[in-house]
Amino acid sequence: MNVLKQILKWGGGGLLVVILVFTIFVNLSHPKIFEAPYPDIHASTDSALIARGKYLAFGPAHCATCHVPMDKMEAVEDGLDMPLIGGWSLTIPPGTFNAPNLTPDPETGIGNYTDGELARALRYMVKKDGTLLPPFMAFQNLSDRDVQAIISFLRSQPAVKHEVPATSYSFIGKALVALGMLKPTGPSQPPPAHVPMDTSVAYGKYVARSVGNCHGCHTKLDLVTGKFIGEDFGGGFVMESDPHIPGLSFVTPNLTPHPTDGHIVNWDEETFVKRLKAGRIHKGSPMPWGANSKMTETELKAIYRYLQTLEPVAGKPERIVLREG
C-alpha cells in the first residue's frame, strides 16, 4: 500500500513538472516569429485597378464584413460602403481576434506598411512584425492582379485614425502556435498572374475558393485547431450569430449537388443569382449578404456552375440552432 502511495505521489509530481515545463515553453514561445517572402507586387494609381480592388473589398472578398466596427455591421449588410477602420471582434477558444484598421493612417492603420508587407500578409498570413495573421482570410491563391488591386484600393482610401485593440491569444491559442498546429500557410500552387472574369466553371472555382472563401464557411471546421473536419462544401459549420441576436446560431448548408441533401439542388441558375442578390432573410446570419448583393451576375453564374461540378456529399445540416441564454 505504501509503495502504491509512493508511485502515485511520484506520478502526480512528475505530471505537475511536465505541466509546468509545457506552460513555460508555451509562454516563452509567444509571440512566435515566422519567415515568409515578400511578393513583388506594388500599389498602382490606375483607376480601373483601384475600382477592381474596391469591388473585391465590398463584394466577393467581403473585407468590409469584418473590417468595420461591430455597430456598423448591419449597415454593411445593407450594402452600404463603410470606411474600413476595423473593429469586428470574435472570441473563440484560441483567443479574441480583432480585425484591424485598413485605412492608410500611419499610427492606427496600414500607413506604415510597405506594399510588400501587405502582399505578404494577404498571401502568406504573416504580419509586418513577423507574427501570425490568424487564418480568417483565405487569400493565399489570389491572382497577382487581384492582390495588387486590393492593395491599390486600400492605399486610395482616406486615412482614418481609429485604434483597434490588438488580437490576444488564449493559452490554447499560444499552445497551438507553439506546437505548429496553427501556423501561416502560403499558396497551394503558384498563384496566377490574372484570372479574367467570365461565367466559366474555372472562374467560379477561383471565386468560391480563393476570393470569396465559400469553401471556408460551407465546410465543417474545428474552431480550436482551424482544421477542416468535414467534406468540401458539405456544410455543417456552426457559426454564432452577430451580437444583435444573442442565443442564436447558424449552421452552414450543404452546397453540393447531392440529390436529396444539397441545399440548392433544385435551384436553377436564375434562382441562385436572384437569391444571392436579394439579401438576408434571417437577421444575424453570418452569411455576407451585403457583399453578395454587390457581386456581378457573371460572377454569380460562374459560382453556380462550379458548385454543380462538386462531388455530392450526403448530410443535411440543421440550419438554425437556438441556444439557451
The H or E element that residue 278 is part of is: helix 269-278
Q: What are phi and psi of 53, to 5 degrees?
A: -65, -40
Other residues' Cβ atoms within 10 Å of the Cβ of residue 299: 25
User: Cα separation of 310 and 55, whole Å?
Assistant: 27
Three cell numbers at 72?
456598423
CA atoms 245, 77, 277, 310: torsion sign: negative
CA atoms 198, 199, 200, 206: torsion sign: positive
Three cell numbers at 260?
436529396
Using CA atoms, how far residue 223 sits from 17, 26, 80, in Å, is: 29, 20, 30
Count the residues in the chain: 325
User: Cα separation of 97 and 90, whole Å?
Assistant: 5
> What is the residue type of 186?
G
**pTM score above 0.85:** yes
User: Cα separation of 71 and 68, whole Å?
Assistant: 8
Three cell numbers at 184?
501561416
Helix (H, G, I), strand (E, B) or coil at 66: coil
Helix (H, G, I), strand (E, B) or coil at 124: helix
Break the chain into its structural domains and give their ranges.
47-178, 201-322
What are the pLDDT tens digits along the chain (325 aa)? 565 556 555 656 678 888 888 899 899 999 999 999 999 999 999 999 999 999 999 999 999 999 999 888 888 877 788 899 999 998 888 999 999 999 999 999 999 999 999 999 999 999 999 999 988 888 999 999 999 999 999 999 999 999 999 999 999 999 999 999 999 999 999 999 999 999 999 999 999 999 999 999 999 988 777 788 999 999 999 887 655 555 677 889 999 999 999 999 999 999 999 999 998 887 778 888 889 999 999 999 999 999 999 999 999 887 655 444 3
Beta-ladder partners of 92: 95
